[in-house]
């Protein structure tokens, strides 16, 4: 009798990598740079100013994510999640800055300004107690960024920019799902993580309200409340799953 073949279990980081591949788009080849209607773009200076602000915050994001990486050094899944976030943040910043340069929006973003923005973000970013607390912060950033960019896309009349913003919003939404999946596993592996995640989320909500925004993004009470509801549901569901055998997060 031949032994039945075992079905290999796909690692979480491998599934996330595959999802990133399926959603992949290229700044150089998938954005119709030659079709930009520059005059139409300049008829909405408020939109261009918002795009400039978003590019600044996406540039600064690397500083806060860099602070998160040491908490994930022993977890290949968390490292993969944060690395994907770093890559997407760089791509989104590059795409928006390229758009602004193409339409010759002023003041242009300079390397010096962006360095100052990252310095400020690095100094203001909190330390992280552990990997789950870092991931909760990452999740709120993605919730707010995704909502802000979707709203901006809905206001945009210039078609190329609208298409670009739609791609970026989809990336942010996908990345939030990835972080959520990983948090669910961590809570299921250790039920005490659920309580810490909820406390961290509540502190982030208070900070966002007090500071009229989060990590440079404009205040968005709807997105923040959606984030709180998501974390609460995530913690409750994952805690119930914790009655099953413990989940191994390391390969």
170 vs 238 pLDDT, higher one: 170
At residue 213, φ and ψ (nearest 5 deg) are: 155, 180
For 111, other C-beta atoms within 10 Å of its C-beta total: 8
Q: At what angle do helices 131-155 and 192-210 cross, to 10 degrees?
A: 50
Query: What count of Cα atoms within 13 Å lies in the side-chain half-sphere of residue 154?
Result: 5
Q: Are 27 and 95 in contact (CB under 8 A)?
A: yes
Domain contains 47: yes
Residue 248, domain member (yes or no) = no
pLDDT tens profile 73-82: 888 889 988 9
Residue bearing tokens 């340069």: 101
Q: Decide if 33 contacts 160 (C-beta within 8 A).
A: yes
Q: Is residue 185 part of a domain?
A: yes
Distance between first and last Cα of the chain: 31
pLDDT tens figures, 85-114: 999 999 999 999 999 999 999 999 999 999
In this prediction, residues 38-64 reach a mean pLDDT of 94
Q: Residue 58 sits in a domain of what CATH number?
A: 1.10.620.20
Q: What is the largest CA-CA distance in the chain?
A: 74
Omega into 43 within 30° of 0, i.e. cis? no
CA–CA separation, 104 vs 98, rounded Å?
A: 10
Residue reference for tokens 């909760």: 136
Q: Is residue 16 part of a domain?
A: no
CA-closest candidate to residue 188, choices 248, 234, 241: 241
Asked whether 169 and 142 are in contact (CB, 8 A), the reply is: no
Q: Judge if pTM exceeds 0.95.
A: no
Average of per-residue pLDDT across 141-168: 94
The answer as to whether 10 is a domain residue is no
More confident residue, 141 or 15: 141
Is 120 a member of any domain? Answer: yes
Domain count, the chain: 1
Is residue 176, in this structure, part of any structural domain at all? yes
Q: Is residue 51 part of a domain?
A: yes
Instruction: Please tell me the distance from the alpha carbon of residue 54 to that of residue 58, in angstroms, as a whole number.
Output: 6
Residue 231's domain spans which residues? 32-241
The answer to which of 35-39, 80-84, 213-217 has the lowest mean pLDDT is 213-217
């Amino acid at each position: 009798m031949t032994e039945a073949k075992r079905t290999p279990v796909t690692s979480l980081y491998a599934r996330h990598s595959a999802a990133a591949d399926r959603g992949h788009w290229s700044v150089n080849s998938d954005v119709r740079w030659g079709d930009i209607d520059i005059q139409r773009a300049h008829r909405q200076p408020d939109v261009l100013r918002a795009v400039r602000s978003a590019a600044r915050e996406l540039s600064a994001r690397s500083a806060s994510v860099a602070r998160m990486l040491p908490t994930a050094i022993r977890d290949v899944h968390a490292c993969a999640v944060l690395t994907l976030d770093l890559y997407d943040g760089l791509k989104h910043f590059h795409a928006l800055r390229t758009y602004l340069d193409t339409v010759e929006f002023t003041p242009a973003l300079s390397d010096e300004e962006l360095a100052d923005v990252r310095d400020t973000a690095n100094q203001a970013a909190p330390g992280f107690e552990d990997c789950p607390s870092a991931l909760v912060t990452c999740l709120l950033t993605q919730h707010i960024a995704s909502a802000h960019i979707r709203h901006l896309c809905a206001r945009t009349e210039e078609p190329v920019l609208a298409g670009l913003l739609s791609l970026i919003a989809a990336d942010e939404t996908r990345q939030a799902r990835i972080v959520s999946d990983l948090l669910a596993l961590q809570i299921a592996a250790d039920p005490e993580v659920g309580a810490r995640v909820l406390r961290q989320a509540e502190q982030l909500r208070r900070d966002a309200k007090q500071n009229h925004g989060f990590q440079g993004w404009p205040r968005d009470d709807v997105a923040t409340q959606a984030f709180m509801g998501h974390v609460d549901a995530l913690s409750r569901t994952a805690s119930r799953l914790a009655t099953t055998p413990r989940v191994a997060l390391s390969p």
